[in-house]
Amino acid sequence: MARSKFFWHLLALAVVGVWGVTFVCTKQLISAGLDPAEIFAIRFTMAYSGIWALSLTRGPVRFRSRNWQDELLFVFLGITGGSFYFLTENTALAYTQACNVAFLVCVSPLLTALLTMLYRRLRRDRFAAALEPVRPDFPLVCGTILALGGMALMLFDGSRLQVSLKGDLLAVGAALCWALYSLFMGRMTEEYGAVFATRKVFGYGLLTIIPFLLSGEGFSFEPLRDWRVIANLLFLGLVASLACFVVWNLVMSKLGNITCTNYVYLNPVFTLITAMILLGERLTPAGAIGSALILLGVFLAGQRGRWRRTGGRV
Ordered by start, the domain boundaries in the chain are 2-309
**What integer pLDDT is reported at residue 219 of this predicted model?**
66
Buried b (16+ CB within 10 A) or exposed e, 40-77: bbbbbebbbebbeeebeeeeeeeeebeeeeeeebbbbb
**Cα dihedral 62/66/72/73 (nearest 10):** -90
The phi and psi torsions of 284 (rounded to 5 degrees) equal -70, 165
Q: Residues 178, 262: contact at Cβ < 8 Å?
A: no
pLDDT value for 4: 64
Residues 156 and 100: their CA atoms lie apart, in Å, by 12
Report the length, in residues, of the chain. Answer: 314
Neighbour tally for 156: CB within 10 Å: 12
For 79-96, give one letter per residue: b (16+ CB within 10 A) or e: bbbbbbbbbbbbbbbbbb
pTM as predicted: 0.77
Sequence-separated contacts (24+) of 187-193 with Cβ below 8 Å: 187/126, 187/127, 187/130, 187/253, 188/70, 188/73, 188/74, 188/77, 189/249, 189/250, 189/252, 189/253, 190/130, 190/253, 192/62, 192/65, 192/70
What does the pLDDT read at residue 163? Answer: 52
Q: Rounded to an integer, what distance in angstroms lies between the CA atom of residue 51 and that of residue 44?
A: 10
- What was the pLDDT predicted at 129? 83
Would you give the end-to-end CA distance of the chain in angstroms? 24
Please return the burial class of 310, using the count of CB atoms within 10 Å of its CB with bins 0-12, 13-18 and 19+.
exposed
Cβ proximity of 193 and 73 under 8 Å: no
Long-range contacts for 244-247 (Cβ within 8 Å, ≥24 apart)?
Answer: 244/15, 244/18, 244/19, 245/47, 245/198, 245/201, 245/202, 246/51, 246/54, 246/194, 246/195, 246/198, 247/11, 247/14, 247/15, 247/194
State whether the Cα torsion 276-269-240-155 is positive or negative.
Answer: negative
Task: Look at residue 110 in the predicted model and tell me its pLDDT.
Answer: 78
Please name the amino acid found at residue 106.
C
pLDDT score at 305: 53
Which has the closest alpha carbon to 279: 19, 104, 15, 32?
32
pLDDT lower than 50: segments of the chain = 1, 161-162, 306-314
